[in-house]
Amino acid sequence: MQNYCIIFEIETNPLFYKFFFRRLSFFALFCTIYLKNELYIVSKINTTAMKIYPLYEGSYSIDKNHVFKSFDPIVDLKADRKGATFLDINPFLLVTSTDVILLDTGLGQRNEAGELKIFDNIRKVGYQPEDITIVLFSHLHKDHVGGLATTVGDHFEMNFPNACHYISKKEWELVNSLQKYTYRFKGFEMLENSEHIEFLTESMGMINDQITYETTGGHTDFHLVFHIKEGGEHVFFGGDILTMPEQVGSRLMSKNDKDPKKALEVRNVLVARAAAEKWLCVFYHGTHIKTGRIIENNGNFEVVEV
């Protein structure tokens, strides 16, 4: 028998807000129901539910040569991998009333049975790869596009054949011109004319009535972030600009950003907007917190897990 944890949150004053999960206004009441790694957001005003599934692909260390190596915190020691960056990889499945949306496609790792982990994770939460209707790419680093396509003989086949894949046109052109180690995906050139890819040519815009995007730069020259809105909820996917909760409220710059100063400036603006507009943020490289809201407390920002 499944065990459910049902939490009702009502904001009355700052003290109550702080001790009881710190979120909800007088205008809406939300019921948050956890089932395994599934998160439902149900609005009292609108009965439509957006469902969010973190598709955890594993924990990794990344060395100075950008080599990803599986990291098990139970048996592996960080001291043995000096100079490495440690992170989790979490593509997200987001289900709206009209679409099944995949937020980036992971590193493309396979399980012991030889199946893509992202396929296995999608099936575990009740969907099939063929159910995906939209794939949104924040940028084209290999840990975000590894699950895009599979080599079959001398060609590539899309892993999500019924989905439209949205990619920055300028990011795509840059990838094909650079051919650098951070973009080790041989399928780019072969997939350029695919009917499954929709190139985003504007710096910001609308994909449909629910999804908008904007170019931030910083992490890569043409990095994108996405906003998905439905039923009074606003989900924000920050890719690698706002990729883990530890970045919130921090002034540290990341060596993994192409332009660390710009990335920090953009991140600070997004954090302030997220707090003011009560976005639900999903963290692609989040370790302990995968989804959360950003709140401001006396000029300081922090993440409250949802």
Confidence of residue 215 (pLDDT cuts 50, 70, 90): very high
Residue 15, pLDDT score: 36
Sequential DSSP letters for 215-270: E--SSSTT-EEEEEEETTEEEEE-TTTS-SGGGTT--PPPTTSSSHHHHHHHHHHH
Under 8 Å between Cβ of 293 and 279: yes
CATH second-level architecture of 5-305?
4-Layer Sandwich (3.60)
Can you read off the two tokens belonging to residue 128? 């099939």
- Of 3-12, 113-122, 129-138, the range with the lowest mean pLDDT is 3-12
Strand 30-35 with 38-43, pairing: antiparallel
Mean pLDDT of all residues in 90-109: 96
The phi and psi torsions of 179 (rounded to 5 degrees) equal 50, 45
- State the residue for tokens 């993994």: 256
> 181-211: per-residue pLDDT in tens?
555 566 666 677 788 999 999 999 999 999 9
Can you read off the two tokens belonging to residue 207? 């994909």
Say how many Å lie between the first and final Cα of the chain, rounded. 24
Which residues fall within 8 angstroms of residue 172, CB to CB, at 6 or more apart? 140, 188, 192, 199
Under 8 Å between Cβ of 282 and 289: no
Which residues fall within 8 angstroms of residue 85, CB to CB, at 6 or more apart? 61, 62, 255, 256
> 18-64: per-residue pLDDT in tens?
333 344 333 333 333 344 444 544 333 232 478 999 999 999 988 88
Under 8 Å between Cβ of 198 and 13: no
Under 8 Å between Cβ of 261 and 274: no
- Domains of the chain, by residue range, sit at 5-305
- State the residue for tokens 């895009």: 148
- CA nearest to 283, candidates 22, 139, 104: 104
> 240-291: per-residue pLDDT in tens?
999 999 999 999 898 889 999 999 999 999 999 999 999 999 999 999 999 9
- State the residue for tokens 């603006």: 269
**83 or 219, higher pLDDT:** 219
- Name the pTM for this structure: 0.82
Distances from the Cα of 185 to the Cα of 6, 108, 152, 228, 274, angstroms: 43, 11, 14, 28, 33
Under 8 Å between Cβ of 162 and 131: yes
What is the spatial distance between Cα 78 and Cα 125, in angstroms, rounded to a whole number? 32
pLDDT of residue 217 exceeding 90, the answer is yes
Residue 113: CA count within 13 A, CB half-sphere: 6
Helix (H, G, I), strand (E, B) or coil at 272: helix
Amino acid at 117: K
Residue 176, pLDDT score: 76
pLDDT of residue 6 exceeding 60, the answer is no
What is the spatial distance between Cα 41 and Cα 95, in angstroms, rounded to a whole number? 11
Confidence of residue 155 (pLDDT cuts 50, 70, 90): confident
